[in-house]
Structure 1
Amino acid sequence: MIKKEEVKVEVEDGRVLQISDERNREQEDKNDKWHRVEMSSDKFIRRFRLPENAKIDQVRAAMENRVLTMSLPKEEEKKPEVKAIEISG
């Protein structure tokens, strides 16, 4: 099970959102005749290129019930101004 403390959310190179998780586990069994140690490692990385109008400093992440929710506000796109022109003649 992934814990929110194990998940990293970072913005790198200005416009790349990286979500990663790395877990190392160790399981040990022993008795009078033997001793066994099993180690495993899991790694997860996903990268997404963010749009040009993303507000990088306002990226937010929340994790609840193993669901990661991202909030990425964007600046409003400036719409071209339409100006009426009189037609003479």
Structure 2
Amino acid sequence: MALIKYSRPNVDLHSKNFSDVLDEFFNESLNYHRDSFMPSVDISETETEFEVSVALPGMNKEDINVDLDNGRLSISGERKLEQEEEGKNYHRVESKFGSFNRSFQLPDSIDEESIEAKYENGILNITIAKREEKVKKQIKIN
């Protein structure tokens, strides 16, 4: 078997800040040793709600926990490594496995009773409505 130098796909070091490269290096090395991973999260806002999307491919919704406590949204779970099959040799495993926990402090303007979570096609989508009295109003000037 020949050894081939591995280069990570989609990594362009020239377009990154030096501090970003260092952060990525140290965060990845720490996560590797702790049997954990950090899923990608996108948070957006509309006039009426906050939207949180978490990339969790290959997981079952039963293995994901979503909690809201005192305005802090916590998303946790565990992705388990499949059992090795007899006669199957892995040459490379780039998928991340282990436990994860992400937490975000939400603003006071949310309606805690309105939180909804849906898991579809490996993406966890969480929507949290804003309270009506806190929604930004446009004031017309006479």
How is 1:44-59 mapped onto 2 (pairs within 5 angstroms)? Answer: 44-59=100-115
> What is the identity percentage for the equivalent residue pairs of Structure 1 and Structure 2?
33
What residue in structure 1 maps to residue 61 of structure 2?
Answer: 4
Scaled by the length of structure 2, the TM-score of the pair is: 0.42
Equivalenced residues, count: 71
Q: Report the 3-state secondary structure (helix = DSSP H, G, I; strand = E; otherwise coil) of the residue aligned with 2:83.
A: strand
- Aligned AA for 2:64? V
Give the gaps of 5 or more residues in structure 2.
1-57, 87-96
The separation in 2 between residues aligned to 1:8 and 1:62, in whole angstroms, is 12
When the two chains are superposed, the root-mean-square deviation of aligned CA atoms in Å is 2.9
Larger proportion of helix: 2
Identify if the C-alpha distance between structure 1 residues 8 and 50 changes in structure 2 by more than 3 Å, giving closer, same or farther.
same
Identify if the C-alpha distance between structure 1 residues 61 and 28 changes in structure 2 by more than 3 Å, giving closer, same or farther.
same
What residue in structure 1 maps to residue 71 of structure 2?
Answer: 15
Identify if the C-alpha distance between structure 1 residues 24 and 75 changes in structure 2 by more than 3 Å, giving closer, same or farther.
same
Q: 1:67 aligns with which of 101, 105, 123?
A: 123
Give the gaps of 5 or more residues in structure 1.
31-40, 82-89
